[in-house]
């Protein structure tokens, strides 16, 4: 018994030690503070406009996009949450909407001359994981004799129509289907509320309806892949290839590119993007962020992170079908990883500007790349 207790104690100490090493917050020297780029030397927006490239950042609040610095760097923006179902719909039964936040975001962005990416029309996790809204609870609340599949199908169709009508001529590119794959596994479709009640055709039906409602739109399927050589990446490519071969009106693929636990190489990224361009599709990096902690072994992690972002922009510029790179945030004040701090120990600090809006090395490095 004594040996068992000693063994258990040793195991607990060992596990605690490993967790401490893996999870303890780290801090790096902010050498970039002594080498801030002069605003007048920032030409990213100007150069991006010149070559028809979209460089963007998502923002939580419309006011984030309404400032001189944002306007010198970005020519595109994605509302982080404002266009999502849970942010606009007030009542699922009466289909009552409140567009005050989404309209403000779109109007302010367009007044600043920014392209607005529409994100996202149909996303299973928004209901199943974020409960925003919980569509399964809504379905369960319907009268016993209600046809749940029909009600959900009608909700999805009505929502797509309402959003496309509302932002017709203002948003030209939509993430129609977001994250169709299960987060884990080898690339199976996620058993989300839409798959459960509507079957696989929820994907093609959404694209077909959106295209019928507005043939001028660029319709994207958007997915988070941790790497571009594994089974999930191959499965995602196979899904898109199948949909395209069936004549589903998909025009573009969004690779979110959240680098969470390791950093996928720019070379593998470029190669994967080229696969989609061979299908005749547009490609965009739609939600770029790479946690600073992933660069902890570099001489200067901030510079290494900035070089990585420059190399991802470079990879996109080398693929003619890649039309844009969007970071999933503007500055480190608003970082989604903090909502899952247990999974993403500090430092995350993933964006081009720090929490005090000071430029990090990536800005100068991307600026230099675009001036070539
Ligand atoms: O604004 C409310 C606030 O009033 C309230 O007090 C608080 C607590 O309930 O919630 C706040 O809303 C939260 C919102 O973020 C703004 O912080 C929502 O609950 C929360 O669900 C929402 O999370 C967003 C998440 O998508 C779900 O929509 C994250 O900000 C956003 O970064 C994240 O973005 C996703 C992409 O859409 C798809 N790809 C993955 C990416 C990261 O998860």
pLDDT of residue 20: 78
pLDDT of residue 271: 98
Please list every protein residue whose CB sits less than 6 Å from any atom of ligand 1: 60, 80-81, 84, 126, 130, 132, 178, 224, 256, 287, 336
Tokens 């996109």 belong to 316
Q: What average pLDDT does this structure show over 33-54?
A: 94
Q: Whose CA is nearest to atom 14 of ligand 1?
A: 81
Q: What average pLDDT does this structure show over 332-337?
A: 94
The rounded distance, in Å, linking the Cα atoms of 28 and 289 is 18
Q: Across all residues in the chain, what is the average pLDDT?
A: 95
Q: Decide if pLDDT at 119 tops 90.
A: yes
Measured in Å, residue 126 CA sits from the centre of ligand 1 at 9
Measured in Å, residue 220 CA sits from the centre of ligand 1 at 21
Q: What average pLDDT does this structure show over 146-172?
A: 98
pLDDT of residue 2: 86
pLDDT of residue 39: 86
Q: Decide if pLDDT at 16 tops 90.
A: no
Q: Decide if pLDDT at 280 tops 90.
A: yes
Measured in Å, residue 187 CA sits from the centre of ligand 1 at 25
Q: Decide if pLDDT at 128 tops 90.
A: yes
Q: Whose CA is nearest to atom 21 of ligand 1?
A: 130
CB contact at 8 A, 220 and 250: yes
Q: Whose CA is nearest to atom 20 of ligand 1?
A: 130
Task: For residue 84, give the ligand 1 atom closest to its CA.
Answer: 28
Q: Whose CA is nearest to atom 13 of ligand 1?
A: 81
- Choice from 58, 62, 80, 350 to test ligand 1 binding pocket (greatest atom count within 8 A of CB): 80
Q: Decide if pLDDT at 23 tops 90.
A: no
Task: For residue 329, give the ligand 1 atom closest to its CA.
Answer: 32
User: What are φ and ψ of residue 171, in 5° steps?
Assistant: -120, 120
Q: What average pLDDT does this structure show over 111-121?
A: 96
Structure tokens at 304: 């290494």
Q: Decide if pLDDT at 136 tops 90.
A: yes
Q: What average pLDDT does this structure show over 184-195?
A: 96
Cis upstream peptide for 347 (omega within 30°): yes
The rounded distance, in Å, linking the Cα atoms of 193 and 40 is 49
Measured in Å, residue 81 CA sits from the centre of ligand 1 at 6
Lowest mean pLDDT among 61-75, 155-169, 228-242: 61-75
CB contact at 8 A, 260 and 231: no
Q: Strand pairing partners for 283?
A: 253, 322
- Whose CA is closest to 125, among 55, 78, 195, 173? 195
Percent of the chain with pLDDT over 90: 87
- The pLDDT tens digits for 343-366 are 999 999 999 999 999 999 999 999
pLDDT of residue 346: 93
- Whose CA is closest to 309, among 295, 329, 288? 288
- The pLDDT tens digits for 54-91 are 999 999 988 888 888 888 899 999 999 999 999 999 99
Q: Whose CA is nearest to atom 38 of ligand 1?
A: 178
- Rg over alpha carbons for the chain, rounded to the nearest Å, is 22
Give the total residue count for the chain: 372
Burial 76-98 (b: 16+ CB within 10 A, else e): bbbbbbbbbbebbbeebeeeebe
Q: Decide if pLDDT at 126 tops 90.
A: yes
Measured in Å, residue 7 CA sits from the centre of ligand 1 at 43
Q: Whose CA is nearest to atom 19 of ligand 1?
A: 130
Q: What average pLDDT does this structure show over 11-38?
A: 88
Confidence of residue 275 (pLDDT cuts 50, 70, 90): very high
Task: For residue 132, give the ligand 1 atom closest to its CA.
Answer: 21
Q: Strand pairing partners for 45?
A: none
Measured in Å, residue 166 CA sits from the centre of ligand 1 at 22
Q: Strand pairing partners for 220?
A: 175, 252
The rounded distance, in Å, linking the Cα atoms of 56 and 84 is 18
pLDDT of residue 257: 98
Q: Decide if pLDDT at 18 tops 90.
A: no
pLDDT of residue 21: 80
């Amino acid at each position: 018994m004594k040996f068992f207790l000693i063994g258990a104690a040793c195991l607990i100490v060992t596990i605690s030690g490993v967790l401490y090493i893996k999870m303890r917050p780290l801090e790096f020297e902010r050498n970039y503070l002594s080498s801030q780029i002069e605003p007048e030397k920032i030409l990213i927006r100007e150069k991006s406009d010149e070559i028809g490239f979209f460089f963007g950042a998502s923002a939580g609040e419309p006011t984030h996009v309404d400032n001189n610095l944002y306007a010198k760097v970005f020519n595109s923006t994605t509302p982080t949450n404002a266009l999502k179902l849970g942010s606009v719909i007030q009542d699922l039964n009466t289909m009552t909407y409140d567009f005050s936040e989404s309209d403000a975001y779109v109007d302010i962005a367009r007044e600043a001359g920014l392209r607005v990416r529409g994100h996202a029309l149909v996303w299973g996790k928004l209901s199943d994981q974020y409960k925003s809204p919980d569509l399964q609870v809504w379905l369960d609340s319907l009268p016993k004799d209600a046809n749940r599949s029909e009600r959900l199908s009608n909700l999805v169709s009505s929502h797509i129509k309402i959003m496309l009508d509302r932002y017709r001529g203002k948003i030209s590119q939509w993430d129609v289907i977001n994250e169709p794959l299960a987060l884990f596994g080898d690339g199976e479709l996620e058993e989300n509320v839409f798959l459960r009640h509507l079957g696989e055709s929820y994907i093609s039906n959404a694209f077909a309806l959106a295209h019928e409602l507005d043939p001028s739109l660029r319709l994207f399927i958007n997915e988070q892949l941790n790497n571009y050589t594994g089974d999930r990446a191959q499965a995602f490519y196979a899904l898109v290839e199948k949909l395209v071969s069936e004549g589903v009106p998909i025009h573009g693929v969004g690779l979110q590119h959240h680098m969470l636990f390791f950093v996928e190489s720019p070379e593998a990224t470029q190669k994967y993007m080229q696969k989609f361009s061979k299908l005749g599709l547009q490609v965009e990096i739609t939600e770029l962020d790479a946690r600073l902690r992933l660069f902890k072994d570099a001489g200067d992690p901030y510079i290494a992170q900035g070089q990585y972002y420059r190399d991802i922009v470079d990879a996109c510029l080398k693929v003619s079908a890649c039309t844009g790179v969007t970071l999933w945030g503007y500055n480190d004040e608003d970082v989604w990883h903090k909502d899952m701090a247990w999974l993403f120990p500090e430092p995350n600090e993933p964006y081009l500007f720090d929490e005090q809006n000071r430029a990090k090395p990536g800005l100068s490095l991307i600026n230099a790349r675009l001036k070539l």
